[in-house]
Structure 1
Amino acid sequence: MFALQLVRERIERLREERDLSRETLTAAWQSYYWIVAGLLAACGVAATGRAFVRRHGFGPPLPHNDSVILEYVGWFVADGNTLYTDIWEIKPPLAFLPTYLFAQVTGTNMYAHHLLGIATTATGLVLTVALTARIVGTLTESPVAGLAAGVTFLVLPDLFYLPWLGYKAKMMVYVFGLAALDRAVHDRHFTSGLLAGLAVGFWQLSVVFPLLTTIYTLRNRSFTDLKRHVAGGAAAVGVIGTSLLLYADVGGFLAEVVLGPLVLQSETGAFDLRTYFLFFNNDLGRWVTLVGAGGLGLALLEAGKMGLTALDVDGLGLTVFDTDRHQTWPLAVGGLLVTLIVVFIDFDGLWDMVYPLVFTALGVGILVSYLPRRVGIALLVVFALLLVPTFGPSEFVRQDPVEMESSDGLPPALDSEREHVYWTAQSVRSCRFFGGGTQQSILQYYPEADSLAEAPCGDVGLYWAVTRERLSSALPSPLGAQADAGSVTPTAQPGVTVTDEGFDYRVENDSVDVTVPLVNEADERRPAEVVVEVVTDGETVTRCREPSLAGGERTTLRFRFEEVSTDSLSISLWVDDDRAPSTACR
Structure 2
Amino acid sequence: MAARSRIETGFDWLAVLGPCVAVPFAVGFAGYLLVEWPAIATDPAFFQHTGWYVLEGGVPYVDVWDVNPPVPFGIAAVLSLLSGGNMLVLHGLGSTLTTLVAGSSVLLVGWVAYLVTGDDTAAVAAGLTMLVVPELFLLSPEGIRAQFYSLFFGVLALAMALRDRPFLAGAAAALSAGSWQSGVAFAPLIVGMAYQRSGWEDALRAIAGGVVVTGAVALVFAIAGALVPMVVQAVIAPLSAGSPYTLAERGYTILLVFGYGSLLLPVAFYGWMHAAVRDVRTRWWVPAGGVILGLQVLVVDLDGSTDALLWLAFVALGVAVAVERATVGQSVTTVRRSDDVSPTGRRRWTTVAAAAVIVLVVLSGPVWHVGSPTPKSTLRTLQQEAEPEGGTLPITPDDGNVPSMQTIYWEQMTPETCHYRLSWNEVRWIAMTDDRLDAQRCDGWPSRTDRG
TM-score scaled by structure 1? 0.62
**Contact preservation (8 Å) 1:136, 1:146:** yes
Q: Shift of residue 410 of structure 1? A: 10
| SS state at 2:324 partner | helix
Structure 2 residue 138 is the aligned partner of structure 1 residue 161 = yes
**Corresponding residue of 1:437:** 424
**Corresponding residue of 1:383:** 358
Structure 2 residue 256 is the aligned partner of structure 1 residue 278 = yes
**Contact preservation (8 Å) 2:192, 2:203:** no
In angstroms, what is the RMSD of aligned CA positions?
A: 3.3
**Corresponding residue of 2:300:** 345
Letter in 2 for 1:120: L
Structure 2 residue 154 is the aligned partner of structure 1 residue 174 = no
CA distance in structure 1 between the partners assigned to 2:84 and 2:238 by the alignment: 33
Structure 2 residue 442 is the aligned partner of structure 1 residue 457 = yes
**Corresponding residue of 2:389:** none
Pick one of 285, 290, 296 that aligns with 2:272: 296
CA distance in structure 1 between the partners assigned to 2:15 and 2:74 by the alignment: 28
Q: How does 1:421-570 map to 2 (within 5 A)?
A: 421-440=408-427, 441-446=429-434, 451-454=436-439, 456-460=441-445, 462=446, 556=452
**Corresponding residue of 1:578:** none
The one-character-per-residue Cα deviations of 1:407-451 (angstroms, maximum 9, x if unpaired) are: xx996257x7221111111111100112233333334543xx7x5
CA distance in structure 2 between the partners assigned to 1:39 and 1:78 by the alignment: 42
Equivalent residues, number = 403
Say if 1:161 and 1:327 are closer, same or farther in 2 by CA, change over 3 A. Answer: same
**Corresponding residue of 2:322:** 367
The one-character-per-residue Cα deviations of 1:187-226 (angstroms, maximum 9, x if unpaired) are: 1111111111121111222111111111111113523212
Structure 2 residue 263 is the aligned partner of structure 1 residue 287 = yes
Greater alpha carbon shift after TM alignment, 237-246 vs 211-220: 237-246
Pick one of 304, 312, 315 that aligns with 1:357: 312
**Structure with greater strand share of residues:** 1
Letter in 2 for 1:290: P
**Structure with greater helix share of residues:** 2
Structure 2 residue 73 is the aligned partner of structure 1 residue 86 = no
CA distance in structure 2 between the partners assigned to 1:166 and 1:269 by the alignment: 29
CA distance in structure 1 between the partners assigned to 2:185 and 2:6 by the alignment: 28
CA distance in structure 1 between the partners assigned to 2:125 and 2:263 by the alignment: 14
Letter in 1 for 2:275: A
Letter in 1 for 2:273: G
Structure 2 gap segments, 5+ residues each: 329-346, 372-396
The one-character-per-residue Cα deviations of 1:452-485 (angstroms, maximum 9, x if unpaired) are: 113741213x45xx58xxxxxxxxxxxxxxxxxx
Q: How does 1:308-327 map to 2 (within 5 A)?
A: 326-327=281-282
**Contact preservation (8 Å) 2:4, 2:118:** no
**Corresponding residue of 1:334:** 289
Greater alpha carbon shift after TM alignment, 210-219 vs 221-230: 221-230
| SS state at 1:458 partner | coil
**Contact preservation (8 Å) 1:183, 1:192:** yes
Q: Shift of residue 370 of structure 1? A: 0.7
CA distance in structure 2 between the partners assigned to 1:424 and 1:248 by the alignment: 28
**Contact preservation (8 Å) 1:192, 1:229:** yes
**Corresponding residue of 1:148:** 125
Letter in 1 for 2:444: D
**Contact preservation (8 Å) 2:66, 2:426:** no
**Contact preservation (8 Å) 1:190, 1:228:** yes
Say if 1:353 and 1:259 are closer, same or farther in 2 by CA, change over 3 A. Answer: closer
The one-character-per-residue Cα deviations of 1:469-507 (angstroms, maximum 9, x if unpaired) are: xxxxxxxxxxxxxxxxxxxxxxxxxxxxxxxxxxxxxxx
Letter in 2 for 1:108: G
**Corresponding residue of 2:374:** none
Structure 2 residue 407 is the aligned partner of structure 1 residue 420 = yes
Letter in 1 for 2:438: A
CA distance in structure 2 between the partners assigned to 1:144 and 1:428 by the alignment: 52
The one-character-per-residue Cα deviations of 1:165-202 (angstroms, maximum 9, x if unpaired) are: 22111111111111111111121111111111121111
CA distance in structure 2 between the partners assigned to 1:410 and 1:80 by the alignment: 27
Pick one of 29, 39, 45 that aligns with 2:22: 45
Q: Shift of residue 360 of structure 1? A: 1.1
Q: Shift of residue 78 of structure 1? A: 1.9
**Corresponding residue of 2:380:** none
Q: Shift of residue 359 of structure 1? A: 1.2
TM-score scaled by structure 2? 0.79
Say if 1:80 and 1:186 are closer, same or farther in 2 by CA, change over 3 A. Answer: same
Say if 1:36 and 1:141 are closer, same or farther in 2 by CA, change over 3 A. Answer: closer
Pick one of 66, 90, 107 that aligns with 1:113: 90
CA distance in structure 1 between the partners assigned to 2:327 and 2:398 by the alignment: 62
The one-character-per-residue Cα deviations of 1:31-87 (angstroms, maximum 9, x if unpaired) are: 98xx63364344323202323455674663422233222222222222111111111
**Contact preservation (8 Å) 2:25, 2:99:** yes
**Contact preservation (8 Å) 1:145, 1:376:** no
| SS state at 1:459 partner | coil
**Contact preservation (8 Å) 1:94, 1:243:** no
CA distance in structure 2 between the partners assigned to 1:390 and 1:278 by the alignment: 11
Give aligned-pair identity as a percent: 24
**Contact preservation (8 Å) 2:29, 2:99:** no
Greater alpha carbon shift after TM alignment, 233-242 vs 199-208: 233-242
Say if 1:437 and 1:386 are closer, same or farther in 2 by CA, change over 3 A. Answer: closer
**Contact preservation (8 Å) 1:268, 1:346:** no
> In terms of Rg, which structure is larger?
1
Structure 1 gap segments, 5+ residues each: 1-20, 307-325, 397-408, 468-516, 518-554, 557-586
**Corresponding residue of 1:25:** 5
Letter in 2 for 1:209: F
Say if 1:429 and 1:341 are closer, same or farther in 2 by CA, change over 3 A. Answer: same
Greater alpha carbon shift after TM alignment, 178-187 vs 232-241: 232-241
Q: Shift of residue 337 of structure 1? A: 0.8
Q: Shift of residue 340 of structure 1? A: 0.7
Pick one of 211, 221, 236 that aligns with 1:244: 221
Letter in 1 for 2:255: F
Say if 1:157 and 1:112 are closer, same or farther in 2 by CA, change over 3 A. Answer: same
Greater alpha carbon shift after TM alignment, 334-343 vs 37-46: 37-46
